[in-house]
Amino acid sequence: MAVQKDRKSRSRRGMRRAHDALTRSNLSVDATTGERHLRHHISPDGYYKGRRVLPEKEEFESDNEE
């Protein structure tokens, strides 16, 4: 088994952990609905770049029934 030769100081531990910070996800505000969404993803309403890309649920369900 590997065993460390010398104890690492608090400073060395901190320097190693300097790259472990998490970044917040970038949120955008949709132009038409004003909702927040992840960049390059559609909003919960189905809009992307101000255009409707998913049909509404009622339209989608009526297409399946026919």
pLDDT, one tens digit per residue, over 8-66 is 999 999 999 999 999 998 998 888 888 888 989 888 888 888 888 888 877 666 666 66
- Domain borders along the chain are 24-57
| Distance, CA of 60 to CA of 41 (rounded, Å) | 20
pLDDT value at residue 55:
86
Q: What is the pTM (predicted TM-score) of this model?
A: 0.51
pLDDT value at residue 29:
87
pLDDT value at residue 61:
66
pLDDT band of 1, cuts 50, 70, 90: confident
CA 29 to each of CA 16, 18, 46: distance values in angstroms, whole numbers, following the listed order: 36, 31, 13
